Each structure stands twice: as C-alpha cells, then as structure tokens.
Amino acid sequence: MNYIEVKLVPVPMNEPVADVLAALLGPLGFDSFSTEADCLKAYCPQNLFDDVALQSTLDDFPLPDVSVKWVAEVVETQNWNQAWEAENALTPIPFGNQEIVIHPCMSFGSGHHETTSQLLEEIANFFDAHPSSRETPLQVLDMGTGTGVLAIACALCGAQVRAIEIDDWVADNARDNVLANDVAGRVQVECGDASLLQPEPRYDLVLANINRNVLLTDMATYCSTMRPGATLLMSGFYEEDVPAIRQCAEGLGLQYVAHRNRNNWVVIRFEK
C-alpha cells in the first residue's frame, strides 16, 4: 500500500505547533508523523488522502499568527519505512529494571512521545499495585497498539495482552517488536478496530492511545469488555479535551480517578 507524504512547513515551526498539526491531521487519516527542524512530515494511506479537507483544516488552524504551507508526494511503504528507520535509530526504552527494544517503521509509539512515556509510567504503577504472574496473568486490551510498546510493557509485567491495530502493516511491525522482545507467547496482535470486540467483561486493564474522536466513539465498547474493578487508561488528546472525555466515561458508569499531562498531552484513568 502506497502512502502520501505531506511536508508541512509552518511559520513559526516549534514543538507546540507540530503537536497541534498532528492532532488536527489524525482525523483526516494521517497516522504517522516525523518532526524535523523546519517541518512536520505526515503520512496518510493514499486511498484516504483528501487535499481539499487538508487545506480546509489548515485554513482554520487554531493558533493565531501561524501560517502553514505544504507539499505532497506519493511514497512506497517499504522505501519510506526503511529511510525513516535509518534516520531515526532509537535507543532501548527503560521500563523498570528492563528495556524494551522498538523498531518503529513509522508506527506511532516509539516510547518517547509524551503520551506513550506517560502511559508506560502508568502501566508500571498499575502492575506495582496489581501484580500479574504466569500462573494467574492479568488480561489486558491495548487498542491502537502502534509499535506494540505498551502491550510489550504489560507482557513484561506478566500479563496476557490482546493488541489491536487498524493498519495491517503497522500490525506487522508490532508483531516484529513482540518477537524482538521475547513476549510472543504473551501478546496477540490483531488487525482491526473496536468492531472486533465482544461485550464480555474479561479485561483487567484497557489501554487506548488514539485520538479524541475515536476514544469518544469507541469508549462504550471498551467499557463493555472491562471486568468490575478494571482500569481504563487513555491518552492521545489535550488538557482541553478532558471535560468531553470525562463526561463520556462517567455517562458509561466509569469512575474518574485522575489525569495528568506533560506538555499538554493528557493521560487519564478511570475505573469500572
């Protein structure tokens, strides 16, 4: 499958502007991003690319005094995966007294973004309070698994994990990372979306690091899979999105526990 690479050049270019661009482009089908000194490169499956919708979104850019120019080109998945990986070699991610090795291949979830790093911290805290073991493993659902980094972290804590990813090539990347971290027996990676889930309470922990609109749409399905007392950890949105996320969750009978943010990226926790 070919992708469209869009090079966005905002003036000024800085981290907050790049973060807002990525958040705006997610609902348009863009699922991977690479930040450079003067631009943000965004990647969208060719069949989902809509140049009119892209321009309309940029015309309504919410930050004042920011202008954005862009150019687009078609790239072949294998070639730009290899190029991105060569330019973005990552060190192993510390997790407790272990390390997670991730080869992103343009998938989201290298472990260094604020959403992923905060979720890794929350996962460590969860398993400190709820030990899992090979004899009695906790059951975890990881929606929008990306590179599989969160699923791998849970597996290293002794859990049994079902990881779901909507893009088939990203799911393949997650499977490779699962193998690289020797947790293949503990992580099952599937390609699909929330429609794969059945309304049966079976999970002790549900993770969803996606975007605000998907979370609001699919939260009821996540809730239907949670056991009484289970925890839901979500990220991929901003502090200003918390009221809408909280209203949706509490309307489903979930109890708000806490949230925190890093550079305005939020991780929020609910319990059933």
Q: What is the rounded CA–CA span in Å between residue 192 and residue 196?
A: 7
> Average pLDDT of 11-16?
87
What's the pLDDT score for residue 83?
A: 47
The residue written with tokens 């690289």 in the block is 180
What pLDDT digit, counting tens, does each position of 222-240 carry? 999 999 999 999 998 889 8
Nearest to 62 by CA among 35, 23, 108, 99: 23
Mean pLDDT is lowest, of 6-15, 52-61, 105-114, 243-252, for: 105-114
What's the pLDDT score for residue 213?
A: 85
Q: How confident is the model at residue 91 (pLDDT cuts 50, 70, 90)?
A: low
DSSP H or E run through 10: strand 2-11
> Average pLDDT of 33-40?
84
Q: Is the Cβ–Cβ distance between 28 and 57 less than 8 Å? A: yes
What pLDDT digit, counting tens, does each position of 46-86 carry? 899 999 999 999 999 988 889 999 999 987 655 444 444 45
Q: What is the rounded CA–CA span in Å between residue 41 and residue 18?
A: 10
What's the pLDDT score for residue 116?
A: 87
Query: What are the residue boundaries of the structural domains of the chain, listed by start?
Result: 2-87, 93-271
CATH superfamily of 93-271: Vaccinia Virus protein VP39 (3.40.50.150)
Q: Is the Cβ–Cβ distance between 226 and 249 less than 8 Å? A: no
What's the pLDDT score for residue 107?
A: 47
What's the pLDDT score for residue 76?
A: 65
Identical fold between 2-87 and 93-271: no
CATH superfamily of 2-87: YebC, transcriptional regulation domain (3.30.70.980)
What's the pLDDT score for residue 1?
A: 65
- From residue 97, how far is each of 52, 124, 125, 233, 268 by CA, in Å? 48, 11, 14, 22, 25
